[in-house]
């Protein structure tokens, strides 16, 4: 049987009891956290753009319609294909439409085929490739961009440089990524670079630095759309979750909901905060609303796990089977974008041996800290404790520091009989997240860090 995910309550405590305890602890924690949180919640006002999810959905559909019309009128234009690809990627960003994301890649492929040497949708191809975790395509596209006859602007060159930093980060070279981002910010300290720097800071366990960078990104963003600010709020909330400050995270998710009402992504993360506060039925309703909106398999997995711990085997199996079908569909359409989350699904609900093969594919594609931690989980689930330790130490040596890394390391060490090393790893996990060993931490699915 596959090793259950961190949501699993290894102490055998029923979910309803944990929910009640978590609710009491959540209120107590909230009282001590909310004063500093109120100071941090101040964001600049949104500038312009759709004010809620449905307005954004309508605007996205209109842009798509115009882009499709342009392609129909000029089938031989790579620029038209690039415009359509951008609109499709926007549909994914706004609505979670995975099919649109895959279609965006196909349009870019056709655009590259149509382009003459020295031209083409190379920078946009690199951006899309990074968004779906295809590092090889991203590098080829950046090389093609560098070789272009003409570049439209200095900002494009800086965007390409920042993407080189992304390549370094996801290949496990965080010092190089930091250096490239620092070089980029000498030209412009814009929101894109600030968000990237926040990603590195979070990976290093520097949570306050990461939050400060995201708040600066909100101030530096000249567009400041409601959706953009909501996404930044969600990212900050996820950082707070990763260090066990659940009340603070909940406040940031509420801020995101105020900024951009109806956003499916906010509902996904709010469901987790709602669950930890003991409001289980409300969490289920939030997750079911996300599934109804865009068939997100992550929401299906979360529902399956809630029902498993409620003792409702029928509904747990129903949701896990639906998630399995959707993950298979996504891997067929765009494997690089789906393999990591599909591996997590397989570990929780499927076959540990199959999960191990998937986790290896994920590391081969992106050998960075998070992928190595996932591979270590799969190795531990298959009794390969020394191999798991090797992956975790490689992640640690790269500069990665997260409570989940050290918790998994503790498992590897304990299973290998290294009790002293296991205790030390647990201490390091608790230092990063004081709540990591508590029963309620086992309920965290999306923002475990």
Cα separations in angstroms, 431 against 51, 211, 370, 426: 40, 18, 19, 9
| Selected residue with higher pLDDT from 110 and 27 | 110
What is the spatial distance between Cα 80 and Cα 59, in angstroms, rounded to a whole number? 19
> What count of residues does the chain have?
449
**Higher-confidence position of 15 and 82:** 82
Query: Which structure tokens are listed for 31?
Result: 């009282």
Interaxial angle between packed helices 313-333 and 98-114, expressed in degrees from 0 to 180 and rounded to the nearest 10: 10
Q: Residue 293 above 90 pLDDT?
A: yes
Find all residues with CB under 8 Å of 39, minimum gap 6, and list them.
none
pLDDT value at residue 149: 79
DSSP string, 71-88: HHH-TT-HHHHHHHHHHH
307: Cα separation from own chain's centroid: 24
pLDDT at res. 205: 97
Above pLDDT 70, what percent of the chain?
A: 90
Surface-to-core class of residue 65, CB atoms within 10 Å of its CB (0-12 exposed, 13-18 middle, 19+ buried): exposed
Residues with Cβ < 8 Å from 205, sequence gap 6 or more? 401, 402, 432
Percent of the chain with pLDDT strictly greater than 90: 82
- Whether residue 395 has pLDDT greater than 60: yes
Measured from the Cβ of residue 269, the count of other Cβ atoms closer than 10 Å reads 26
* Residue of higher predicted confidence among 27 and 58: 58
Backbone region of residue 363 per phi and psi (left: phi > 0; alpha: psi in -120 to 50; beta: other values)? alpha
Summarised one tens digit per residue, pLDDT across range 76-115 is: 999 999 999 999 999 999 999 999 999 999 999 999 999 9
> Measured on CA atoms in the order 385, 390, 396, 399, is the torsion positive or negative?
negative
pLDDT band at 431 (very low <50, low <70, confident <90, very high): very high
Q: Check whether 13 has a pLDDT greater than 50.
A: no
Average pLDDT over residues 434-443: 84
pLDDT at 152: 67
pLDDT (average), residues 333-359: 97
Continuous H helices in 186-245: 191-203, 207-220, 226-242
Question: Residue 327: its pLDDT value, please?
Answer: 98
**Is this structure's pTM higher than 0.85?**
yes
Residue/partner pairs of 21-28 with CB below 8 Å, 24 or more apart: 21/278, 21/439, 21/440, 22/275, 22/276, 22/277, 22/278, 22/439, 22/440, 22/443, 23/277, 23/278, 23/279, 24/278, 25/438, 25/440, 26/246, 26/247, 26/250, 26/276, 26/277, 26/278, 26/440, 27/277
How far are the Cα atoms of 1, 98, 130, 336 from residue 143, in angstroms, in the given order? 45, 27, 14, 20
d(CA 14, CA 113): 57
247's tokens: 């009340």
Question: What's CA 384's distance to the chain center, in Å?
Answer: 27
| Domain limits, the chain | 49-150, 153-222
How much is the average pLDDT of 442-446? 77
Q: For residue 333, how many other CB atoms are within 10 A of its CB?
A: 16
Q: How far apart are CA 338 and CA 358, in angstroms?
A: 10
Exposed / middle / buried, residue 117 (Cβ in 10 Å: 0-12, 13-18, 19+): exposed
Q: 185 vs 390, which has greater pLDDT?
A: 390
Range from 165-169, 181-185, 266-270 carrying the lowest mean pLDDT: 181-185
Tokens of 331: 């891997």
Nearest C-alpha neighbor of 245 from the set 20, 2, 423, 28: 28
Please, is 41 exposed, middle or buried when counting C-beta atoms within 10 Å of its C-beta (0-12, 13-18, 19+)?
middle
Q: Token pair for residue 334?
A: 């765009």
The answer on pLDDT for 156 being more than 80 is yes
Query: Can you give the pLDDT at residue 374?
Result: 98
Q: Is 153-222 assigned to CATH 3.30.420?
A: no
Q: pLDDT tens for residues 416-430?
A: 999 999 999 999 999
Q: What's the pLDDT tens digit per position in 202-224?
A: 999 999 999 999 999 999 998 89
d(C-alpha 99, C-alpha 86), whole Å: 14
Return the number of other C-beta atoms located less than 10 Å from residue 320's C-beta.
22
């Amino acid at each position: 049987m596959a090793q259950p995910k961190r949501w699993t309550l290894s102490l055998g405590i029923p979910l309803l009891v944990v929910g009640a305890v978590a609710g009491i602890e959540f209120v107590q924690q909230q009282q001590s956290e909310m004063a500093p949180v109120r100071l941090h919640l101040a964001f600049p006002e949104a500038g312009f753009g759709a004010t809620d999810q449905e307005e954004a959905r309508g605007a996205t559909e209109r842009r798509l319609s115009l882009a499709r019309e342009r392609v129909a009128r000029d089938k031989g234009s790579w620029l038209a294909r690039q415009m359509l690809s951008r609109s499709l990627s926007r549909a994914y960003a706004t609505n979670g439409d995975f099919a649109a994301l895959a279609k965006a890649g196909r349009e870019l492929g056709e655009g590259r085929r149509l382009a003459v040497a020295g031209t083409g949708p190379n920078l946009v191809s690199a951006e899309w490739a990074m968004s779906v975790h295809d590092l090889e395509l991203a590098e080829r596209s950046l090389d093609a961009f560098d070789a272009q006859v003409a570049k439209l602007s200095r900002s494009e060159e800086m965007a390409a440089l920042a993407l080189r930093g992304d390549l370094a980060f996801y290949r496990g070279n965080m010092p190089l990524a930091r250096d490239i981002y620092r070089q980029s910010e000498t030209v412009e300290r814009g929101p894109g670079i600030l968000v990237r720097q926040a990603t590195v800071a979070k990976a290093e366990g520097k949570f306050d630095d990461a939050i400060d960078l995201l708040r600066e990104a909100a101030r530096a963003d000249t567009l400041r759309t409601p959706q953009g600010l909501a996404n930044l709020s969600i990212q900050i909330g996820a950082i707070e979750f990763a260090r066990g400050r659940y009340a603070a995270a909940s406040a940031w998710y509420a801020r995101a909901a105020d900024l951009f009402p109806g956003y499916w992504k906010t509902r996904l993360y709010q469901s987790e905060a709602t669950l930890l506060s003991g409001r289980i039925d409300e969490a289920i309703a939030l997750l079911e609303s996300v599934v109804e909106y865009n068939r997100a398999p992550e929401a299906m997995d979360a529902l399956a796990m809630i029902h498993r711990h409620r003792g409702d085997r029928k509904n747990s199996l129903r949701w896990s089977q639906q998630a399995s079908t959707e993950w298979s569909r996504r891997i067929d359409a765009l494997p690089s974008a789906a393999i990591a989350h599909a591996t997590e699904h397989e570990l929780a609900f499927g076959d540990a041996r199959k999960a191990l093969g998937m986790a290896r594919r994920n590391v081969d594609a992106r050998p960075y800290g998070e992928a190595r931690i996932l591979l270590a989980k799969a190795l531990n689930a298959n009794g390969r404790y020394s191999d798991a330790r090797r992956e975790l130490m490689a992640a640690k040596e790269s500069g990665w520091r997260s409570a989940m890394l050290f918790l998994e390391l503790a498992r590897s060490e304990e299973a290998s009989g290294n009790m002293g090393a296991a205790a030390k790893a647990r201490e390091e996990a608790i230092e990063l997240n004081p709540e990591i060993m508590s029963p309620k931490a086992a309920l965290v699915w999306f923002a475990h860090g």
